[in-house]
Structure 1
Amino acid sequence: MNITTPLPNSETNSATAVPRQIKLGLIGADIGPSRSPAMHEAEGRAQGLDVSYQLIDLTTRSVGVEGLPGLLAEAEAEGFAGVNVTHPCKQAVIPLLDELSEDARALGAVNTVLFQDGKRLGHNTDWYGFSEAFRRGMAGAPLSRVVQIGAGGAGSAVAYGALKLGVAQLSLVDVDQARAEALAAKLGGIFGASRVSAAARPDDVVPTADGLINTTPIGMEAYPGLPLSGALLRPNLWVAEVVYFPLDTALLQAARALGSRTVDGGGMAVFQAAEAFRLFTGVMPDVERMLTGFAAMRPIRHE
């Protein structure tokens, strides 16, 4: 990230030395199990900040992305310092913003929105979150040929991060072929057309790949199952996930059962949250503390 934006609502009352409340939130669908509130609030307490983080769930409010303008306006009116946005809002939010960071503009996807001086500033911390998590969890993994399932908002950021990591040839597969082709063209313009392409089906590219990345919501509690045929998995194909609720998805379980190296979506969740925390508050978080806290969190159960 190359933009540091101090938080306008984090001033400290000099008489009491108690910081004004920093109100944050997450807008998305089926986000009940999200650990973002716990991560941000815990790090806020550790930093001496009074952070509150609310879930703004499209599903529980019975609205779709068409409700996004109203939800953003509502958050601004209630004095939020900013919000994170997740599926299915990461691309839909862009026309509603005043400015974009360099990374968000390049990706065409936003996961962090700051409300500052009457403007809405869009950032993307997902690509950084994926890159850092992959470096830690998949050191030394071959990067010659990688297949990514999903070319939506999260997929854009992860593909960007994967190419920055040094993936030589990245194949994008999406249920919307045109979306995969558009993302390949965009990233090809940044990293070189020879390094990224769109494929029609996983079957066409996974058999010769070194690794597989799932950036679709398939595997989440609301979207159970596998994003591709389990028959395509094999021991020498590493598998990376972005889904973190549940942390141990059906895809990871199937890959691990074959002896594959895997990395779950927890690290990405923490690293993207840490960078968002810095943008929201202007305070550098303790990432190791956040990783420890995330690992200690119990899975959220729904009756």
Structure 2
Amino acid sequence: MKLGLIGQHIQKSKSPQLHELLGKKLDIATSYDLFDCKLDNEQALYELLKDLKQRGYRGVNVTHPYKVWAWNIVANTFNTSAGLGALNTLIIDGEELSGTNTDCSGFVRAYQKECSDLKPGKVLMKGAGGVGRAIAFGLGMLEVEHLYIFDENTVSLQALVSDLQQAGVACSALTADAVTECALNCDGLVNATPVGHYTTPGASFSAEQVQGQRWVFDAVYTPVATEFICLARAANMSVISGFELFIHQGVDAYQWFSQRAVDSQLLSGEISVE
């Protein structure tokens, strides 16, 4: 089974290790390649998918910044909330492209593992792109009390807020000058931006903002210990790392590619965090 990952700045991705290990565990010959590329538009992504199909690929994962494009070009979506607007897992070897979003399901599983039955409460999330959409709809499934969202791209921000409200999720957009006050009155903080990634270092939330919350999540996992995560750990908060999301979404994706039940415990201790 030939699989791959399409995105930018993915040279350090552990997806090949994860999927090929799952293949060995399930006795399914699996290869997984990285397609680190800068695509100009949705059509370019579609042409790449057609090329990979011709080369015998079963499916691909899609990461930043192509998840919304993937949603727009895929005809059939499965196990995905209406209006989510982003896909990260595509099967390309059928008559039509089909896709799902295992970031959403993976986040829900990662949150429940760390925070048990506690509901998220009031949450501030930075980032309204592809992964932000998945996390936002996942928070809706977890019955978030209210989700506040900030993104410098106001078009993406307003579109996500509108889609969430239509899905019945209590949410609102924030302006930059309201972020700090909002953060200090929230139960959880979420980074769904690339800030903290090894190619875009920095802290997605400042030390001033990371105070008094119960839990945090950072979608970045290279490195796992981002500046944001370190601030939260120093304040003894419950931390859900991007690595936890990576494992859960990857297991869900492989299950979808292979049409085989996969136990995430198969990977216990076998994928390093760095």
Q: Contact 1:267 / 1:291 at 8 angstroms: preserved in 2?
A: no
Indicate which of 171, 176, 182 corresponds to 2:159: 182
Is residue 2:197 matched to residue 1:247? no
> 1:194-224: per-residue Cα shift (whole Å, max 9, x none)?
x111111222411211110111111111111
CA separation of 1:36 and 1:104: change in aligned 2, threshold 3 A = farther
Residue 210 of structure 1 aligns to which amino acid in structure 2? Answer: D
| Superposition misfits of 4+ residues, deviation over 6 angstroms | none
CA separation of 1:176 and 1:204: change in aligned 2, threshold 3 A = farther
- Matched residue, 2:18: 39
Is residue 2:2 matched to residue 1:23? yes
Q: Give the TM-score of the pair, scaled to structure 2.
A: 0.93
Is residue 2:110 matched to residue 1:133? yes
Deviation at 1:104, TM superposition (A): 5.8
- Counterparts of 2:40 and 2:263, CA distance in 1: 33
When structure 1 is superposed on structure 2, of 227-236 and 155-164 the one drifting more is: 227-236
Any gaps of 5 or more consecutive residues in structure 1? 1-21
- Matched residue, 1:49: 28
Indicate which of 227, 242, 245 corresponds to 1:268: 245
Deviation at 1:97, TM superposition (A): 2.1
Q: Contact 1:144 / 1:167 at 8 angstroms: preserved in 2?
A: yes
Q: Contact 1:235 / 1:255 at 8 angstroms: preserved in 2?
A: no
Is residue 2:175 matched to residue 1:196? no
Residue 202 of structure 2 aligns to which amino acid in structure 1? Answer: G
Indicate which of 190, 203, 215 corresponds to 1:226: 203
- Counterparts of 1:56 and 1:104, CA distance in 2: 27
- Counterparts of 1:236 and 1:50, CA distance in 2: 45
Indicate which of 32, 36, 39 corresponds to 1:64: 39
- Counterparts of 2:164 and 2:143, CA distance in 1: 13
Task: Name the larger-Rg structure.
Answer: 1
Q: Give the TM-score of the pair, scaled to structure 1.
A: 0.84
- Paired positions, count: 270
Any gaps of 5 or more consecutive residues in structure 2? none
Question: SS where residue 225 of structure 1 aligns?
Answer: coil
- Counterparts of 2:144 and 2:75, CA distance in 1: 33
- Counterparts of 1:140 and 1:117, CA distance in 2: 39
Q: Contact 2:71 / 2:87 at 8 angstroms: preserved in 1?
A: yes
- Counting only pairs closer than 5 Å after superposition, residues 87-236 of structure 1 correspond to structure 2 as 87-103=64-80, 105-139=82-116, 141=118, 143-192=120-169, 195-201=170-176, 202-236=179-213
CA separation of 1:24 and 1:198: change in aligned 2, threshold 3 A = same
Q: Contact 2:189 / 2:213 at 8 angstroms: preserved in 1?
A: no
Question: SS where residue 220 of structure 2 aligns?
Answer: coil
Residue 227 of structure 2 aligns to which amino acid in structure 1? Answer: A
Question: SS where residue 5 of structure 2 aligns?
Answer: strand
> 1:120-172: per-residue Cα shift (whole Å, max 9, x none)?
11211111100100111123556321111111100000011011112111111
- Counterparts of 1:298 and 1:210, CA distance in 2: 26
- Counterparts of 1:269 and 1:93, CA distance in 2: 19
Question: SS where residue 260 of structure 2 aligns?
Answer: coil
* RMSD of aligned Cα (Å): 1.7
Q: Contact 2:25 / 2:266 at 8 angstroms: preserved in 1?
A: no
- Counting only pairs closer than 5 Å after superposition, residues 276-287 of structure 1 correspond to structure 2 as 276-287=253-264
CA separation of 1:65 and 1:244: change in aligned 2, threshold 3 A = farther
- Counterparts of 1:234 and 1:200, CA distance in 2: 20
Deviation at 1:268, TM superposition (A): 1.0
> 1:44-91: per-residue Cα shift (whole Å, max 9, x none)?
011111000000001xxxx33434233212211111001000000000
